[in-house]
Chain A
Amino acid sequence: MNALDLLLLTSLGTVLFSVVFSASLTGRMLLTMLYAVQTVILFQIDAGTEMVSSFGFEIFNHALGLSFNGLSWFFALITLGSAFFAAWYGLNQQQKLLHVGLSANVFSMLVLLSAGDFLSLFIAWELVSWSGVLLMVLGKQESLVATLKYITYAIAGGMAVFAGIILIYSWTGSLAFNAVTENPLSLSQYGTLAILLIGGFSVKMALLPFHLWQAEAYALTSGPASVFLGAISARMGLFAIVITMMHVVDLKTLDSIFLIPELFTFRDFLIWVAALSIILPTYTALRQNDARLLLAWHGIGQGGYMMLGLLMYDQMGSAGGLLHVFNYASCQAILFMSVFSILHRTGTTNLNQLGGLVARMPLSFLAMLVGIIGLAGLPPMNGFVSKWLVYRSLLSDGMAIVFLASVIGTLGTILSVYKLMHNSFLGQLRVEHEHVKEAPWSMTVPMMLLAIIIFITGVMPGISLELVANAQSAIGLTPVDYHLGGVVSANSAISGDLDMIWVVLVLFSGFGIAAILFLSAGKSRRVHQLDNYAGGHFLNANNQYQYSDNFYAGLMHIIKPWYRYSFKWFEGAVVSFVNLAAVFSRSFFNQAHMLIWMLVVVTTVMAVAII
């Protein structure tokens, strides 16, 4: 029994434990500890080499195996970390389903990460899909609707993946990961597989145009569930896509499939999908008035960066993409935690009904500040490093327009996260929130720990880059040339290094000098928020003196018409198609034989899946 077996067993044990004991506070504390234990076990596994589990069974004469490599290790760490913090954050949540769902999710994800062949990958994929439902239904009525939407999408995605795997089996006669690499296929076959597998997996990843389900499903549920789902759940899709690109269609193959002859390859298509996945959801986020939805839409947008980095498939780009998984998970987790502590104390996350909470919830504010700096990718937080890597890689590859697209995404992120923070924590404190208290310790401590992690990995990206390098070598790439403070890029087309330690050092000495200047300039006095400039008028307590709704009004005058072209039409089209099919099937059912009806259903589902 090696460490991997132990990890999987512990994880399974955690699920059982949560079923029995999660009702009590002690039980929940122990549960949190169990995630920590799992993480400790994870560290027993050597990330640099591949470890095969001793579990394995045979089905249809195929040996199903579980194994772990650097990539799995990297994702497993993030999964367990997110679960640990989510569980800690949810210590006070008494919903049993939450804790069961969380542990079940962790277990199924670990199984997915350790999948050793296509069949186990598919089984684990379905496990992950369905266990996700457990976490999504925890909210009010609206979360049920979102979950139903998710289920529809997940089934369609699962079907596509299933079809792809069946095709692989039928073409190669094997379900092992090396099936395709050992039996080269024709380009059209590769194309079909790429569409089915990458399309199927990207439903989970919420790449365009399959992104419409995600925001509501992730955001409208219970807090810890949102934290976990937002941080890592969608990245399982990324993992599966990486597996696909590793074992089925590598980028060279993708590059040789031309969608428009001599001009536009499948890879270009994916790059553009990724780039649009950055821009469109980010600007959708800009319009949200619910803090949770705003963050969830960002989750979709940030997925685009990871995809973009991986599609570069060079040293820096893939490192950036993978590092962004880690960085993003930490930032998104802390942001969701902060937002849900607001919800916990004030009962609303409507950005138009909040404001000025920094005076009452300073720790949550700090958490959000760290989170948004990270999410927007500004130094000194970790988000900067991964975005820097992606940018550098894009510049090296000469992809100026994609580079521009990703920067537009970043700018949109800055705009919307500032709106998030301004409308909730800054500005005028509303009268009904006069006596709001800071979130309880069980919520603030994980936030603070995460903030420290974000900062440390921002200043010393070498720590997380080591993990990324392992993952990179597991995919078969040259690991990034890193040191503790950043990266060296001697052998890329465009040179330019990054040393975060120096940057941060200088930044903080800048702050220090500014602080000395500031503090030596005589004392200031705090004043009440009603002691404020109002054109010479007296403010009174009943004035709505806070600018929150339609925060970027000037920008909206221009881009508002563009929102009409969001992908709602796509979903609408699919729904109409299914409706039509249902009508047909009903008339068939009325007239014809049962068997025909069944046939029609199956074809419809297949058709939807393929679309």
Chain B
Amino acid sequence: MRAENYEPKQHPPSHEYELNFGPNHPGIEGNYALKVKLHGDTVVSARADAGYLHRGFEKLMEQRLWIQNIALVPRICVPDPSPMEVAYSMAVEQLCGLDVPERAQWLRVMQLEMSRITAHLFYFGGHAATTGMYNPMFWGVADRDLVLDLFEELTGGRVYCIYNMPGGVRRDIPEGFLDRLSRLLDYLESRLPEYDNLFFTNHVLINRAKGTGQMSQHQALEWAVTGPNLRATGLQCDVRRDDPYLVYDELEFDIPVEQGGDALARTLVRRSELQQSIRILRQIIQRLPSIKGPIRAPIPNPLAWNVPAGEAYVRLESSKGELGWYVVSNGGQKPYRVHVRGPSSMHAVQVLENLAKGSRLEDVAQIMFSLDACPPEVDR
């Protein structure tokens, strides 16, 4: 902050005042800021201010080997890191023309869906906490921890798994893992009614969430809203179905849709998605033992690996929406250019600003959390 900013000038004779949501504010997700101009308790304008989590990933990746970057990529989205490494691996595989063994593909889907469950459980807690109800937060995070335990068993990492590498996955599942996963899924399903009673059918919550941050289908398409937020406006649109990757076309699952387009609809869509993820995981538990084969395609010496020149754009469905990875190689040992399209780049900036405008001060935090905006994806 520069000294001249403390030089007083005339105060604007305006009836509006400014509030800063964040970066140090419980009403903001992560380290992010929203500068809000208010009149009374009505938001006149909101302006997103990012960059608090900026690390220059894209620059960093240009300076590291293809294989080194695997460790870097999950950190782009902290609450839901697994899709990042899968997407990066898939992009490199496309560049090299590597064929990923089927078992690896199934394992990746398993990882992605488990990650989706963790992200959605986290989301429920966050959304509830913005409205002053902390129980779902406490329960959700604790239940999420059980999934993280399985991650740890599978990959060694609780949050950042670094499980994938170009060509496949690093390890096969340990002994008895699928049983434990199955038991966990049973447990999560048995918990859902409790969450319903506490959270999803809570009258006060419905009162607050209904109509909050409402967008129409047209607006959602115009602002490039993707993922559950788009499905909450009634559009059945899912990358897993429209542009299938890995083995999603072999799996049976529904694409849940809500019509409201508001915070409540967005929450309910995620609740149904949680059930769908459980369903997908159940199918994986059933199918995985029958799929034999290697878990990784052979790759050249990773420390001197010249990936053929070319480009690849990989899309996949993370828990927040459409995740896009654009990777360019000029045939060197390091990527020439990596560009990440985090779904929150749209949700946390343009959509949030537009939805917050005209809403009430009480709703701002709820809108942000209900969009499940993830600031590190914006900042990169």
| Residues of B with C-beta under 8 A to A535 | 19-25, 28, 33
Quick check: B20 and A546 within 8 Å, CB to CB? no
Alpha-carbon gap, A544 to B17, bound state (A) = 5
Stretch in contact with the other chain, from B2-10, B56-64, B242-250, B298-306: B2-10
Alpha-carbon gap, A545 to B20, bound state (A) = 10
Closest B residue to A542 by CB, please name it: B9
| Residues of B with C-beta under 8 A to A546 | 17
Main secondary structure of the interface of B (DSSP, over half): loop
Stretch in contact with the other chain, from B36-44, B164-172, B307-315: B36-44
Say how far B130's CB is from chain A's closest CB, in angstroms: 15
| Residues of B with C-beta under 8 A to A530 | 6
Alpha-carbon gap, A544 to B11, bound state (A) = 7
Alpha-carbon gap, A130 to B42, bound state (A) = 47
Say how far A430's CB is from chain B's closest CB, in angstroms: 5
Say how far B352's CB is from chain A's closest CB, in angstroms: 15
Quick check: A538 and B1 within 8 Å, CB to CB? yes
| Residues of A with C-beta under 8 A to B13 | 352-353
- Given A535-B20, A535-B22, the answer on whether A549 and B15 have CB atoms closer than 8 Å is yes
Say how far A351's CB is from chain B's closest CB, in angstroms: 10
In the complex, B152 has a CB within 8 A of chain A: no
Quick check: B40 and A549 within 8 Å, CB to CB? yes
Stretch in contact with the other chain, from A71-79, A376-384, A550-558: A550-558
Closest A residue to B9 by CB, please name it: A542
Say how far A118's CB is from chain B's closest CB, in angstroms: 52
| Residues of B with C-beta under 8 A to A547 | 17
In the complex, B12 has a CB within 8 A of chain A: yes
Quick check: A553 and B8 within 8 Å, CB to CB? no
Quick check: A544 and B5 within 8 Å, CB to CB? no
In the complex, A432 has a CB within 8 A of chain B: yes
Quick check: B20 and A536 within 8 Å, CB to CB? yes
- Per-position 1/0 for A523-544, Cβ under 8 A of B: 0000000100111111011111
| Residues of B with C-beta under 8 A to A542 | 5, 8-9, 11-12
Quick check: B40 and A553 within 8 Å, CB to CB? yes
| Residues of B with C-beta under 8 A to A497 | none
Interface size on A, residues (CB 8 A): 27
Quick check: B12 and A544 within 8 Å, CB to CB? yes
In the complex, A516 has a CB within 8 A of chain B: no
Quick check: A541 and B7 within 8 Å, CB to CB? yes
| Residues of A with C-beta under 8 A to B23 | 535-537
Quick check: B1 and A536 within 8 Å, CB to CB? no
Say how far B29's CB is from chain A's closest CB, in angstroms: 13
In the complex, B153 has a CB within 8 A of chain A: no
Quick check: A544 and B18 within 8 Å, CB to CB? yes
In the complex, B197 has a CB within 8 A of chain A: no
Alpha-carbon gap, A537 to B31, bound state (A) = 12
| Residues of B with C-beta under 8 A to A545 | 17-18
**Chain A, range 133-179, C-beta contacts under 8 Å to B:** none
Alpha-carbon gap, A542 to B8, bound state (A) = 6
User: Which of these, A534, A548, A556, contacts B20 with CB under 8 Å?
Assistant: A534
Closest A residue to B41 by CB, please name it: A553
Alpha-carbon gap, A540 to B4, bound state (A) = 9
Quick check: A554 and B41 within 8 Å, CB to CB? yes
Quick check: A550 and B40 within 8 Å, CB to CB? yes
User: Which of these, A352, A536, A541, A549, contacts B9 with CB under 8 Å?
Assistant: A541
Say how far A429's CB is from chain B's closest CB, in angstroms: 10
Say how far A78's CB is from chain B's closest CB, in angstroms: 38
- Per-position 1/0 for A350-369, Cβ under 8 A of B: 00110000000000000000
| Residues of A with C-beta under 8 A to B7 | 541
Say how far B125's CB is from chain A's closest CB, in angstroms: 21
In the complex, B143 has a CB within 8 A of chain A: no
- Given A434-B8, A541-B6, the answer on whether A536 and B25 have CB atoms closer than 8 Å is yes
Quick check: A432 and B20 within 8 Å, CB to CB? no
Say how far A540's CB is from chain B's closest CB, in angstroms: 4
Say how far B62's CB is from chain A's closest CB, in angstroms: 31
- Given A536-B24, A538-B5, the answer on whether A550 and B39 have CB atoms closer than 8 Å is yes
| Residues of B with C-beta under 8 A to A434 | 8
- Per-position 1/0 for B229-253, Cβ under 8 A of A: 0000000000000000000000000
Alpha-carbon gap, A440 to B24, bound state (A) = 44
| Residues of A with C-beta under 8 A to B33 | 535-537
Alpha-carbon gap, A536 to B39, bound state (A) = 22
In the complex, A431 has a CB within 8 A of chain B: yes
Interface size on B, residues (CB 8 A): 29
Quick check: B15 and A352 within 8 Å, CB to CB? yes
- Given A431-B8, A537-B33, the answer on whether A556 and B40 have CB atoms closer than 8 Å is yes
Closest A residue to B27 by CB, please name it: A535
User: Which of these, A431, A536, A537, A556, contacts B11 with CB under 8 Å?
Assistant: A431
| Residues of A with C-beta under 8 A to B40 | 549-550, 553, 556
Alpha-carbon gap, A353 to B10, bound state (A) = 11
Closest A residue to B11 by CB, please name it: A430
- Given A535-B25, A537-B33, A553-B40, the answer on whether A543 and B18 have CB atoms closer than 8 Å is yes
Alpha-carbon gap, A434 to B39, bound state (A) = 25
In the complex, B207 has a CB within 8 A of chain A: no
In the complex, B102 has a CB within 8 A of chain A: no
Alpha-carbon gap, A533 to B16, bound state (A) = 19
Quick check: B42 and A537 within 8 Å, CB to CB? no
Closest B residue to A528 by CB, please name it: B6
In the complex, B290 has a CB within 8 A of chain A: no
Say how far A117's CB is from chain B's closest CB, in angstroms: 55
Alpha-carbon gap, A456 to B16, bound state (A) = 42
User: Which of these, A431, A548, A550, contacts B10 with CB under 8 Å?
Assistant: A431
Closest B residue to A544 by CB, please name it: B17
Closest B residue to A353 by CB, please name it: B13
In the complex, B14 has a CB within 8 A of chain A: yes
Alpha-carbon gap, A213 to B7, bound state (A) = 45
| Residues of A with C-beta under 8 A to B16 | 544, 549
Alpha-carbon gap, A352 to B8, bound state (A) = 19
Q: Which of A535, A536, A542, A556 has the most CB of B within 10 A?
A: A535
Closest A residue to B1 by CB, please name it: A538
Quick check: B10 and A536 within 8 Å, CB to CB? no
Say how far A239's CB is from chain B's closest CB, in angstroms: 42
Quick check: A541 and B8 within 8 Å, CB to CB? yes
| Residues of A with C-beta under 8 A to B39 | 549-550
| Residues of B with C-beta under 8 A to A544 | 11-12, 14, 16-18
| Residues of B with C-beta under 8 A to A556 | 40
| Residues of A with C-beta under 8 A to B22 | 535-536
| Residues of B with C-beta under 8 A to A543 | 18
Alpha-carbon gap, A302 to B59, bound state (A) = 70
Alpha-carbon gap, A536 to B33, bound state (A) = 9
| Residues of A with C-beta under 8 A to B6 | 530, 540-541
Closest B residue to A546 by CB, please name it: B17
Closest B residue to A355 by CB, please name it: B11
Alpha-carbon gap, A533 to B24, bound state (A) = 9
Q: Which of B12, B13, B40 has the most CB of A within 10 A?
A: B40
| Residues of A with C-beta under 8 A to B10 | 431-432
| Residues of B with C-beta under 8 A to A536 | 20, 22-25, 33
Say how far A304's CB is from chain B's closest CB, in angstroms: 28
| Residues of A with C-beta under 8 A to B42 | 553
Closest B residue to A547 by CB, please name it: B17
| Residues of A with C-beta under 8 A to B8 | 431, 434, 541-542
Say how far A310's CB is from chain B's closest CB, in angstroms: 39
Alpha-carbon gap, A542 to B21, bound state (A) = 18
Quick check: A537 and B12 within 8 Å, CB to CB? no
20 A-B pairs within 8 Å (CB atoms) are namely A431-B9, A431-B10, A432-B11, A434-B8, A533-B24, A534-B20, A535-B20, A536-B24, A537-B33, A540-B1, A541-B6, A542-B8, A543-B18, A544-B14, A544-B16, A547-B17, A549-B39, A549-B40, A550-B39, A550-B41
Chain A contacts to B: CB under 8 angstroms:
352-353, 430-432, 434, 530, 533-538, 540-550, 553-554, 556
Counting from the closest, the 6 A-B pairs by CB-CB distance are A550-B40, A536-B24, A553-B40, A535-B20, A540-B5, A549-B15
A535-B33, A536-B25, A542-B5 provided; 5 other pairs, C-beta below 8 A? A432-B11, A535-B21, A535-B22, A543-B18, A550-B40
